[in-house]
A and B are shown apart, each in its own frame.
Chain A
């Protein structure tokens, strides 16, 4: 019965979405937001319907409603884990890693030898499974958030470095010549022309790094952590078959990841408003 209801709801959402997408309002902002929201609601309803309809046991897949109850009941725990993993581990590592990558990129750009030598290596390292350094960092920096931040620093560093170096050579010859004819010094050219021109590339790297940061912070908790943190909580809750709590943590991780990514994307829109990909929004 509830399956039928959920299927009906899902179909209704699909029909509404299809007509919205084809209507003349499709380009407008509320509609652009409403469509994915409806899509998500339809999936949630389908999930709830299937779980209650087929009475799927909670240890396999809990229903969205019981996940909601778990979130409400465990708010203090979820908050403590969020602070430990996201704020202390991921965010501090992200700031440090991206900041140092930015500085190194500017330095590398000044020395042609370094650019020719470091860039291929950086490109290669950026494709490596760097999460593997997590056990080493835990050995070096201990179980607390410092080791997690260290993993995040290394994971974030290379994608940002590679993109920033590419970005610093994005301004074209003519523009740089123009700066030279105006008698602009190295620093003036850097600040007024080349850094702004590098911003779209930098944000490309920062967005990749934003998702990597959370992965690094959570993976590192598998190699040892204090009794707080999202990765720790998920693995212990899985062990206790407390699946609603696991899903509650996943929901928090998803929310934190999306907000983090959305924040970087919003910053990008504010900084690179002049770029063609940002115009006309």
Chain B
């Protein structure tokens, strides 16, 4: 990856953004000027569109400013701190990711081992992904509240419902990748194990499982991004007051776009960090397994 073109394109995007901010926020400036009976000069237009309380499109520096304020200006345990909200979302992302990956791996193993499971289960796994999970999200929230799973486990019910939604979104990529991985050993390798008179179980643990690892990590990266989406979506219908999704909801209800944009950027940073973590884990694990990059 060359860094030059990436920075170039980024610069163009930022420039376009500033241009769009002037264009979209100009209406408000003209409105104000018409009310005061003043005229709008170019310099007034430029300075005013950059610094409105409720811009249609906040310019980049306002978003970054709000993001920075949210990250640093408050105590990390305060409800105003974006660190706190990111943490809340992160917890449900992780728990959903763990549950979803586990489910994906277990389903993949059973599908690879059993022909009946493959023919009967696989079409339903595909169909389950065509059902938009967000349609079910409010349902899951009501269910986990009325059944009170969280009370039994000693965590909040909101966490349980967000976990389920995140797991639902993240299990499928893991399932597909893991099936591919478990089937990746070729006939020659399988035959060799047979000549060693290895049992089915031995073959599974010594050949199929290790050779599925690269596929697993590729799909884990997709899976963790998906479970972040699930955690954020799960916060919307819960009427949650904590978490990045809740920040977006609050920002939209108060008509304050800067809050929404800052939460969106925080979510983007979180996604980048999560994928990075999986990538680091991947290099560590594959190195220990003796793969040379």
**Mind listing 18 A-B residue pairs with CB under 8 Å?**
A26-B115, A35-B116, A39-B120, A61-B143, A114-B9, A121-B13, A129-B232, A131-B232, A132-B232, A134-B248, A135-B252, A138-B252, A214-B130, A224-B252, A231-B135, A234-B138, A246-B139, A249-B135
Structural contact, A59 and B249, CB atoms closer than 8 A? no
User: Is A198 an interface residue, CB under 8 A from the partner?
Assistant: no
Evaluate contact between A129 and B132: CB separation under 8 angstroms.
no
Q: How far is the CA of A114 from the CA of B143 in the complex (A)?
A: 48
Contacts of B121 in A (CB 8 A): 36, 39
Minimum CB–CB distance for B252 against chain A, Å: 3
Check: B289 CB closer than 8 A to any chain A CB: no
Asked if B252 and A235 make an inter-chain contact with CB atoms under 8 angstroms apart, the answer reads no
| A87 located at the interface, meaning its Cβ lies under 8 Å from any Cβ of chain B in the complex | no
Taking a contact as CB atoms under 8 Å apart, the answer to whether B135 and A230 are in contact is yes
Interface size, chain B (Cβ < 8 Å): 63
A117 with B6, Cβ < 8 A, contacts A35-B119, A36-B119 known: yes
Chain A residues, CB < 8 A from B135: 214, 218, 230-231, 234, 249-250, 253-254
Q: Which A positions have Cβ atoms within 8 angstroms of B? A: 14, 17-18, 20-22, 26, 32, 35-36, 38-40, 59-61, 113-114, 116-118, 120-121, 124, 127-129, 131-136, 138-140, 210-211, 214-215, 218-219, 222-224, 230-231, 234-235, 238, 241, 243, 246-247, 249-250, 253-254, 257-258, 260-261
Q: Which residue of A lies closest to B222 (CB)?
A: A127
**Contact, CB under 8 Å: B130 / A261:** yes
Residue numbers in B under 8 Å from A257 (CB-CB): 130-132
Check if B2 sits within 8 Å of A128, measured CB to CB. Answer: no
Instruction: Provide the residues of chain B in CB contact with A254, threshold 8 Å.
Output: 127, 130-131, 135
| Besides the known contacts A116-B4, A241-B142, A250-B139, 9 further A-B residue pairs in the complex with CB atoms under 8 A apart | A26-B119, A36-B121, A129-B225, A139-B252, A218-B132, A222-B134, A230-B135, A235-B138, A238-B139
Number of A-B residue pairs, CB cutoff 8 Å, is 170
Partner of B134, one of A59, A138, A139, A215: A215
> Does residue B83 face the partner (Cβ distance < 8 Å to A)?
no
Interface residues of B in 147-186 (CB under 8 A from A): 147
Distance A40 CA – B121 CA, assembled complex (angstroms):
9
The answer to whether the Cβ of B229 comes within 8 Å of any Cβ in the partner chain is yes
What is the distance, in angstroms, from A79's C-beta to the closest C-beta of chain B? 16
Are B236 and A222 within 8 A (Cβ)?
yes
Residue from B119, B233, B255 with most neighbouring chain A CB atoms (10 Å) = B119
Q: Whole-angstrom distance between the alpha carbons of A203 and B123 in the complex?
A: 19
B268:A211 contact, CB within 8 angstroms: no
Give Cα A212–Cα B30 distance, bound, in whole angstroms.
39
